A and B are shown apart, each in its own frame.
Chain A
Amino acid sequence: MAMIIILFMPIITATVCYLLKNHRLVGYANLAGASALAVFAIPTILSFVSNPGTALNGMLYMDALSVYIMVLVILLGLASSAYSIGYLEHEFDMKLMDVKGIRRYYLLLHIFIFTMLLVTVANNLALMWIAIEATTIVSAILIGLGFTKRQLAIEAAWKYIMLCTVGITFALLGIFIIYYASTAVNGTKGELNWTALKEIAGRLNPATMKLAFIFVLVGYGTKAGLAPMHNWLPDAHSQAPSPISALLSGILLNTAFYGIIRVIAIVEPSTGAIFTGNLLIIFGLISIGISAVFILVQENYKRLLAYSSIEHMGIVSLGVGIGGVLGFYGALLHILNHAISKPLMFFASGRIQACYGSTKIENVNGVLSSKPLLGMLTFAGVLSLAGSPPLNIFISEFTILKAGVDKGLWAAVGLFLFFAVIVFYGMMSGFGKILFKGKNNIPPKEEGCEHRKFPMSWLNNGVMIVMALLILMLGVSIPEFLDKTIRACISVIGVR
């Protein structure tokens, strides 16, 4: 019952936001809805960590892994809703958006959150597919339509929906094949429910499951931004409004990867961990390598952040591929860490873009001296994303490295370290120019950009400061409840 209420709450918020006519009121309604969801949902779902539950005749299911991703969706949805208020006020002041656009934006934002929540609780693999495809459709409209005055956003949205739909079509074929494999085991009746498939996983035909896994990996991998199917990602993430970029990067990629993890859990018992592991390691290393090159030569800081997302999804894939308790631990921790650091950076870059009116690195400099608070927050985010100690991402990357070394995968570890160094240099040099170069030069004002004040900045700053503190805290120590939850997730997947 609790699950269904949680699923309905964003829908109600979306409807309320669409019905309100005053653009300020809409913003507050959206924040109220998102906070209510967080306040109601988080204490309720934490009980599912230790004892999983189902709903709707087994269509919905929750265990530790669902809870883990769901809490991330809810919290990032809250952060993004809070940040959106100021961001949209700014767009409204700049006449880039009208009241109708704002209402539509909030409507879609909360439907987007709903679809992501549905991914996390879907037990039926096909239902999960439907939800993942729905996230594509909703977020494509968020990227492309709210901002009709920007041609590039249309281009980005077109590429995004086209590539992801083609990719995800293959994932559905993979799910059909899994269904087929289960008919062979069960006799006449096929199974699509993850829980039921998990029970018969050992008896599924290995050859069939291998084929299925390849299709699912390519399909959901496209959505998760794994190279070489990543081409849509830099466009979509750099052209979307900043709060949406934060959601796309911070959590949407993870929900797609969550789909892959669920499928791994039912594929591995029949095919063995080597097969799935090697595929994931290869895709992971290609992603890290390609993104490292593009990070090095990037001239646009939002695109740089998008490529960094590809890199981090590659690292998650590498961690899952290396496998074992330590590998999964590192990967899951990395999902969390990336989901904090990347949205922080997108929020900060949205502010920088609002101040300087450009996303080119060369046009923006001296942020640290002209806007100390924003500069500090950006600096913390960059250090974290580049993987420098003592911040959070260092810990998870180190865990994955340790897992690789334990398994003796020296080639993978070596390549990962090599690319990590390139990424470190690329991130620091790109954002170093933005932060440190020059002094106090807010650029020559373009027409129509007279006031560079960002409305509601206390709320935005508050959100970003909390995230920066979390980055530091998770870098110093991992709290006990988090450790317990991640271990519960690992036992759910069935890794020993």
Chain B
Amino acid sequence: MRNWIQTFSIIDFISVGILLTAISMNAIRRLESCVKAYMLNSWLLSLLIAIIAFMINETHLYVAAVTTFLSKGMLIPLFMKRIVRQIKITHDVDPYISNSLSLVISGILVAVVYASLREGVFVTGVSKNALQISVAVILIGLLIMITRRKAITQIIGLLFMENGLFLAGFSMTFGMPTIIELGVLFDLLMGVIILGFFAVQIRKAFMSSDLDKLTVLKG
């Protein structure tokens, strides 16, 4: 089984899947599909953690895989879907830049990350590509955050960033101690709940979930 994983470089396949689900965000307009893309991304992430756990035989990584799946793969997507329904907005129309331009920028980001992290301080045990991919996912998440108008898409961009961060964490260090992982996940969960709550409040208070309306405070 282990040989099989190595010969077919399954870990790289899954990492690329994580990257592709992040890139697909550039083309998706429907908010529910955005949430689905995030869900798929998280499932791949937890699968990756489980495979790493299997490869190096670490029990605490199995725990991490399960908790990641439960929180990022189930709880947060369900919560986000509820928020999308509550806000009653289905599409993110006219973002700041067009689909094709944002796809091109994502491509350039990936290329830049690969060029700059080709050789360097990091030697990872599991895969040569995981670190580059994770940094690329973080940057694409950031790109999504700054080019979209809706509060929800910004939250999803943030969630993609955090997934990239987790990928970086696991590919570099084989995971933190379990208690710390649980704490980080808990913080993330709380943060998303609060952000979702604020998104609903913004919708109520400003009669719109476009963040353009949030420009009163400046200077």
Question: Residues of A with Cβ closer than 8 Å to B?
Answer: 124, 126-127, 129-130, 133-134, 136-137, 140-141, 144-145, 148, 151-152, 154-159, 161-162, 165-166, 169, 172-173, 176-177, 179-180, 183, 190, 192, 205, 207-208, 211, 234-235, 238-239, 294, 297-298, 303
Contacts and interface: CB of A to CB of B under 8 A. Distances in A.
A176 B169 contact: yes
A156 B198 CA distance: 11
Given A158-B202, A166-B158, A169-B162, A126 B191 contact: no
A161 B191 contact: yes
B195 A169 contact: no
Interface string B141-183: 0100100000100100010011001001100110011001001
B206 interface: yes
B78 to A, nearest CB: 20
A176 B205 CA distance: 39
Given A130-B187, A172-B165, 9 more contacts: A129-B184, A137-B191, A154-B205, A162-B195, A165-B158, A169-B138, A177-B172, A190-B173, A207-B121
Contact of B158 (A124, A145, A148, A162): A162
Contacts of A157: 198
Contacts of B195: 158, 161-162, 165
A161 B187 contact: no
B194 interface: yes
Nearest to A307: B219
Contact of A173 (B138, B176, B201, B214): B138
Contacts of B217: 152, 155-156, 159, 234-235, 238-239
Contacts of A145: 197, 201
B202 A154 contact: yes
A208 B122 CA distance: 8
Which of B165, B194, B197 has the most A CB atoms < 10 Å from its CB?
B194
A179 to B, nearest CB: 5
A137 B151 CA distance: 17
B216 interface: yes
A397 to B, nearest CB: 26
B122 A137 contact: no
A169 B161 CA distance: 8
A183 B173 contact: yes
Contacts of A207: 120-121
Nearest to B146: A166
A305 to B, nearest CB: 14
Contact of A298 (B172, B214, B219): B219
B149 to A, nearest CB: 13
Interface residues of B, number: 38
A243 B206 CA distance: 27
A126 B176 contact: yes
B74 interface: no
A152 B194 CA distance: 17
**The 5 residue pairs across chains A and B that have the minimum distance between CB atoms:** A130-B183, A126-B180, A235-B217, A180-B172, A133-B187
Nearest to B197: A145
Which of A172, A211, A235 has the most B CB atoms < 10 Å from its CB?
A172
Nearest to A188: B174
Interface of B: 120-122, 138, 142, 145, 151, 154, 158, 161-162, 165, 168-169, 172-173, 176-177, 180, 183-184, 186-187, 190-191, 194-195, 197-198, 201-202, 205-206, 211, 214, 216-217, 219
Contacts of A172: 165, 169, 184
A192 B214 contact: no
Contact of A140 (B120, B169, B194): B194
A460 B142 CA distance: 44
Given A126-B176, A211-B121, A137 B165 contact: no
Which of B142, B177, B180 has the most A CB atoms < 10 Å from its CB?
B180
B165 A161 contact: no
A141 B121 contact: no
Which of A141, A155, A208, A238 has the most B CB atoms < 10 Å from its CB?
A155
A155 B165 contact: no
B121 A205 contact: yes
Nearest to B123: A184
A183 B123 CA distance: 11
A172 B190 CA distance: 17
Contact of B219 (A130, A179, A297): A297
A161 B198 CA distance: 10
B201 A166 contact: no
A141 B180 CA distance: 24
Contact of A192 (B120, B177, B194, B202): B177
A151 B206 CA distance: 8
Nearest to A129: B184
Nearest to B181: A126
Nearest to A133: B187
A310 to B, nearest CB: 13
Nearest to A210: B121
B1 to A, nearest CB: 23
A127 B219 contact: no
Which of A145, A169, A207 has the most B CB atoms < 10 Å from its CB?
A169
A169 B167 CA distance: 13
Contacts of B197: 145
A230 to B, nearest CB: 13
B183 to A, nearest CB: 4
A180 B170 CA distance: 10
Given A179-B176, A192-B176, A148 B198 contact: no
Contact of A137 (B168, B176, B187): B187
A166 B191 CA distance: 11
B72 to A, nearest CB: 14
Contacts of B183: 126-127, 130
B214 A158 contact: yes
A259 to B, nearest CB: 15
B145 to A, nearest CB: 7
Contact of B184 (A126, A156, A238): A126
Contacts of B187: 130, 133-134, 137
A169 B198 contact: no
Contact of A180 (B122, B145, B214): B122
Nearest to A151: B205
Contacts of B184: 126, 129-130, 172
B173 A180 contact: yes
Given A126-B183, A133-B187, A161 B169 contact: no
Nearest to A190: B173
Nearest to A231: B218
